[in-house]
A and B are shown apart, each in its own frame.
Chain A
Amino acid sequence: MKHLKSLNKKAQLINKAISPEEVEDVVAMQTVVGCTATTDPGWELDPFGGLGSLCQPMESDLYGCADACWWPAQVPDTMNTYPDWNKDVAKADEDWRKLDGIYEDGE
């Protein structure tokens, strides 16, 4: 991570605020979720062009996106296609490490 240059404010804050181990967690989580088409840091922009009015932390909003098919391209669609994706994780903020990615071969 030390060779990468932060391009936005949130990424800069991550670099300043947390340890390398925690950064690895953040990167790992982005293989599962994220409301952008890439794995760039950040969830999206709020109506003010910033980040302060986004859902916080992301885990609080995770199932609200998945259950309602709110961001179906980036979050597994638990309404129709992957209803069992998070069946063993009742609390996203506590057990998000148990949430895995979705792979085309079903593994």
Chain B
Amino acid sequence: MKLTQMFKSTALAGSLGAAALMSAVAPAAQAAQEYLLTVTRPGHLQVIDMATNKVERTCDVPGNFGSGSIALAPNGKTAYVLSNGMEDVYGFDIRSCDITFHAAQSTPTLKVKSFQSVAVSPDGTELYTIQNPFGLKRDRFTVEQPRLAVFNVADGVGAKPVRTFPVDRRITKIATTAQGEVILGGADVKAINPDTGEVRMVTPLQNWEKGPLWLPPDAFAMHNQGEQSNEYIMPYVTAKFDSEEWNFETAEWWWGMSRVDLETGEAERMEIVPFQFIVFNFISDPRDPNILYGAFNTLSKHDISKQETIAVKEMPHTYYDLNISADGKTIYVGGTSSDISVHDSETLEKIGSIQLSGDMSTSDLRVATIRD
């Protein structure tokens, strides 16, 4: 593969509606106070005031570190953190660090792991995880059926699932729509009704039908940071071959994404820009859904309406994820090590750094907005 090769456009399809743009901009106009949240080693929820870019509060997270996945209550006041080796969920009042919720998913005979998958219902009353259980028998492990677990937030510390429904394997990041469905990011993007367990296909990935010239997509579903645009993005890499011989050297390599509008539950899937470097996570500009930013060894800016990469900024080390202020002006790049790099979204120039007490590793980088 030639890194410098620029590929001509092929298959960008679909346009982004005005409704999506309006829903993305509306929260910014109402924003009162934004807090950047992440989890650092050995076990700290960091609450960062985005007006000053200072750590305002550090909450102790019980249990062994990991994974640091964070889900937010709709009012922004409670953050649910996946801890204890992806087994427990703790709910924190980010204004006081009080623990208001705890669900220990494992038992002495059944280990339960949730791979990033934590989400909160749109009314804030229920918490969802995808549980991957395996039995601890005297002489063997037993692999059990993955399931959606529904918790009542009001059950607080010691909460147990009130409902469970079987789901596919390989589900990682999840999110909730305004209709109350839970988006499931796995081999395909599906949605489950948490009241009935009914599952629908939102947009296929491994089962897409793009024909024999397209490589099945390789999707990366580790972090979910679409709160500023009320969306869920599943990025993927694919290739379009010039024949069924599948010559990888002459193929057109593309970044693509499945993008779910969490207001409507509808999705679009499209190739967005040529694949020229690795990006771990994309976010949208809340002011313009055609503008995407990506992070890894570079911070990059893309205009998907033109299938172009607009700007690339080399970073001093790898960062896994990123987020953005509601006004779209400031980008925060985090994950991996112990510093969050702050950038101007217009130029991508670095304008600040937030030093933390430990490594973020796989933790999310989420924005909690409190409006009162």
Chain A interface residues (CB < 8 Å from chain B): 46-49, 52-53, 55-57, 59-61, 63-64, 67-68, 78-80, 83, 86-87, 89-93
User: CB distance A79 to B337 under 8 Å?
Assistant: no
Write out the residue numbers on chain B whose beta carbons fall within 8 Å of the beta carbon of A93: 317, 337-338, 359
Q: Is B336 located at the chain interface by the 8 A CB criterion?
A: yes
Task: Please measure, in the bound complex, the distance between the C-alpha atom of A47 and the C-alpha atom of B275, giving whole angstroms.
Answer: 11
CB distance from B106 to the nearest CB of A (A): 11
Is B41 an interface residue, CB under 8 A from the partner? yes
With a 10 A CB-CB cut-off, give which of A46, A56, A63, A78 has the most chain B CB atoms: A63
Binding site for A on B (CB under 8 A): 1, 3, 40-42, 64-67, 85-86, 113, 115, 237, 277-278, 296-297, 317-320, 335-338, 357-359, 361-362
List 14 other contacts, CB 8 Å, given A63-B362, A78-B85: A47-B237, A49-B1, A53-B297, A55-B336, A56-B318, A60-B337, A64-B336, A64-B361, A67-B362, A78-B64, A79-B113, A90-B358, A91-B41, A91-B359
| A28 CA / B32 CA spacing, docked (Å) | 51
Q: A56-B318, A90-B338, A91-B359 are in contact. Are A63 and B41 (CB under 8 A)?
A: yes
- Collect the chain A residues with CB atoms within 8 Å of residue B296's CB: 53
Flag if A79 contacts B86 (CB, 8 Å).
yes
Within the complex, what minimum Cβ distance (angstroms) separates A83 from chain B?
A: 5
Q: How far is the CA of A93 from the CA of B67 in the complex (A)?
A: 19
Q: Are A78 and B278 in contact (CB under 8 A)?
A: no
Closest CB of chain B to A99's CB: distance in Å?
A: 12
| A-B residue pair count with CB separations less than 8 angstroms | 78
B98 to chain A, nearest CB (A): 24
Given A60-B318, A90-B359, check contact A67 B66 (CB 8 Å).
Answer: yes
A48 contacts across to B, CB distance below 8 A: 1, 3
Q: In the complex, A57 Cα to B297 Cα: how many Å? A: 10
Report the Cα distance A56→B280, complex, angstroms.
Answer: 13
Q: Which residues from B are CB-within-8-Å of A52?
A: 297
Residues of B within 8 A of A89 (CB): 41
Min C-beta distance of A10 to chain B, whole Å: 15
- Contact A90/B40 with A53-B297, A57-B317, A79-B85 known, Cβ cut-off 8 Å: yes
A92 in contact with B337 (CB, 8 Å): yes
